[in-house]
Chains A and B, each alone.
Chain A
Amino acid sequence: MNLILFTFIVLLGFTSYYFGRKKAYTIQSTKKRLTALPQFYGYYLAIWCAIPAFIIFSLWAIFEPTIVKLLILSDYSNQGYLDDELNLLYEKSKALSRGQFTGEITPFIEASAEKYLSLRSIAQSSKVVIVLSAIIASVAYAYKRISSNSRTREPVEKFLNAVLFTASLAAILTTVGIVFSLIFQTIDFFKVIPLFDFVFGTHWYPAKAFVRDSSEALDPTMYSDTFGAVPIFAGTFFIAFIAMCVAIPIGLMSGIYLAEYASTKVRQYAKPLIEILAGIPTVVYGFFAALTVGPFLKELGTSMGLEVSAESALAAGGVMGIMIIPFISSLSDDVITSVPQSLRDGSYAMGATKSETIKRVIFPAALPGIVGSILLGVSRAIGETMIVVMASGLAANLTLNPLESTSTITAQIVVILIGDQAFGDPKTQAAFALGMSLFLVTLCLNIVALRVVKKYREKYE
């Protein structure tokens, strides 16, 4: 029903566009000069169609459920029900009206369900009537008003401005919303677990928290030595470090090769091929690490007399590094290519060779951009989840041995949130605290990276 109505409104919008333009043409044919192109008159009318529809739809969405609920529950007032019971009754009748109710059906509930249905249909039809009449009234008013010297261009531009602004606002508000949900849960978490224990505790063992029966009372002392985040912070940075050890040299060198040495033909094929690496889903990298690289490293280690865990930080970090190569390679290729040719010419004309030019002129000139690309790579390494979950194990060992398994912030969030969760429980909130710290770390890295890149851009523009 709503879909049909919506389609109809869109059609009305097109029609009003058409009428607006047509009126403009008619005015034009009387040799009067218009203040704007005929299309603007059309858009102007279409806006007069869209705005009332939007306002009424939003009002309806906000108030309809509340009003319906009030009307239904008014039958039960003065009968001594508690608020909770009333809510339950309302939910039951709603479920019954949709045919989804499985419990015992009492005549009361049945009556409410019928009333609910009839109220909904009244609401629906009155919405159709009100929306359509509002649209027609507003479009007709606007249609009458437009004349050769009415201003249509400005409102249309303003409307576009507002639409675009709303779009960016939506993105920003979502971010803010996510941050706030993180913040409140994190604060709750730190009410139970002292911040000091979280930041400096060296023992992370959330499984201990899983054993608690939720009917038991919450006893903070039982969590001592459970949520010490040091091992997983260390694991995160350690795996990211291994990843960058792989990604920075290979990525940078391939970037330099592509930008400076590769012939047009090689570049034409090599660049997309390297970028394919970036298109591989991380879960594929994950099982590549877990099923191919991990066992391979284990065998290799065993043959050399080393003890290697099948799920090692080295396997996860190494594969993660491969995943990051295309970011660094592609970004550094871009910044190196954007170093002005005149600098290269200047250096060659002094008799410098290609490698001298790269080392002494191009690399220093591109350095801020390259640092930016590396920092973006690091923030990806820290935020990467799938590879670590699959290839590096879930036990949070505090170790700096790359051959042992270790765990990261992201992997621990997965561990905590897989399966059933109880909200308001420290073990669930621990995930929010971890998410918050992860967010802060990557936020800082991104801010630094963007600043560096921006500084670089200013230099040559």
Chain B
Amino acid sequence: MIKIKAKDVDVFYGKKQALFNISLDIEENQVTALIGPSGCGKSTFLRCLNRMNDVIDICSVKGEILINDFNINDKSCDVVRLREKIGMVFQKPNPFPKTLYENVSYGPTIHGMAQSKQEMDEIVETSLKKAALWEEVKDRLHEPGTGLSGGQQQRLCIARAISVRPEVILMDEPCSALDPIATAQIEELIDELKKEHTIIIVTHSMAQAARVSQNTGFFHLGQLIEHGSTDKIFKNPDNKKTQDYITGRFG
């Protein structure tokens, strides 16, 4: 099943064009990895999917992005609702300077998802459990989230993202600031999360893309060079550039 369908997406930063004609289909309940050298536009594309580029004044997006057959670049699209459906995890763990509990309850609060304290407690607990953090923090939910270790902070951010039960989770190099053990934990988590969510992950590590994803898209200089199943991209790519990048000849 196709969850997200991007059609001819162009992105401009001021006059500079950052993405050219990107068309890409994202499968539901699978992990799609976006790889490519730095500055190739993979993060920019990711940020198109929840309209995070709106935050940047000079950035403009053209083309259609259909999520559940609804064009999110349409004027009638409510960004608040969109971002409720599409969660995001960032490169650097960015927990709010609040308690763990408040970090996770943030989304449900602003979307009015809990009617009572009890419901909220439940949401927080399930989210933390799904993010594989519950056991480590259940006794200190009311301590600041910034006091956790890097890997724990990133899992807290994942818990925060899944607290509103999004359909899609965007991950922008979620492990680049973490050590190998924390990275392994997050990768394991991604595998678990794909049962309920569609996941798109931008990564610099080709090994990670190969480990966690079912589909891969290769970006280069603002263009989507090739996309397909991860197996195919890594074992038998059609494009020479993809081949070169995968085998480490550039990038």
Contact = CB atoms under 8 A, between A and B. Distances in A.
Interface of A: 263-264, 340, 342-353, 356, 360-361, 364-365, 459
Given A342-B92, A346-B157, A351 B52 contact: no
Contacts of B180: none
B88 A356 contact: no
A365 B83 contact: no
Contacts of B222: none
A351 B57 contact: no
A349 B57 CA distance: 16
Contact of B57 (A263, A360, A364): A263
Given A349-B88, A350-B106, A350-B164, A343 B57 contact: no
Nearest to A361: B96
Contacts of B157: 346
Given A264-B57, A346-B90, A356-B110, A351 B96 contact: no
A347 B96 contact: yes
Nearest to A342: B94
Choose among B81, B107, B110 the residue with the greatest number of A CB atoms under 10 Å from its CB: B110
A342 B57 contact: no
A342 B160 CA distance: 14
CB-CB nearest 3 A-B residue pairs:
A351-B83, A349-B88, A342-B94
B97 interface: yes
Given A350-B160, A351-B80, A343 B111 contact: no
7 contacts: A345-B88, A345-B94, A346-B95, A346-B96, A350-B84, A353-B80, A459-B97
A360 B106 contact: yes
Given A345-B52, A346-B157, A351 B97 contact: no
Contact of B94 (A264, A346, A352, A353): A346
B7 interface: no
Given A340-B94, A353-B80, A348 B106 contact: no
Contacts of B50: 349
Given A345-B52, A345-B55, A351 B107 contact: yes
Given A350-B164, A351-B164, A365-B97, 13 more contacts: A264-B57, A343-B94, A343-B96, A344-B55, A345-B55, A347-B106, A349-B83, A349-B88, A350-B160, A351-B81, A351-B83, A351-B84, A364-B96
Interface string B129-164: 000000000000000001000000000010011001
Contacts of A360: 96, 106, 110
Contacts of A346: 90, 94-96, 157, 160
Where chain A touches its partner, the secondary structure class is helix
Of A263, A349, A356, A364, which is in contact with the most chain B CB atoms at under 10 Å from its CB? A349
Nearest to A366: B97
B3 interface: no
Interface of B: 50, 52, 55, 57, 79-84, 87-88, 90, 92, 94-98, 106-107, 110-111, 146, 157, 160-161, 164
A351 B51 CA distance: 10
A356 B79 CA distance: 14
Q: A264, A344, A351, A361 — which one has the most chain B CB atoms within 10 A of its CB?
A: A351
Contacts of B94: 340, 342-343, 345-346
A346 B89 CA distance: 8
B90 A342 contact: yes
A351 B110 contact: yes
A238 B73 CA distance: 55
A190 B57 CA distance: 63
A364 B97 contact: yes
Nearest to A351: B83
Contacts of B164: 350-351
Contacts of B52: 345, 348-349
A361 B160 CA distance: 14
B90 A345 contact: yes
B110 A350 contact: yes
B97 A348 contact: no
B41 to A, nearest CB: 18
Nearest to A341: B55
A350 B97 contact: no
B34 to A, nearest CB: 17
Given A263-B57, A360-B106, A348 B83 contact: yes
A461 to B, nearest CB: 12
Could you say which of B52, B88, B96, B161 has the most chain A C-beta atoms within 10 Å of its C-beta?
A: B96
A264 B14 CA distance: 14
A343 B160 CA distance: 13
A203 to B, nearest CB: 50
A352 B55 contact: no
Q: Which of A343, A350, A361 has the most CB of B within 10 A?
A: A350
Contacts of A356: 110
A434 to B, nearest CB: 42
A264 B82 CA distance: 27
Nearest to A350: B107
A351 B83 CA distance: 5
A121 B217 CA distance: 92
Contacts of B160: 346, 350
A342 B146 CA distance: 13
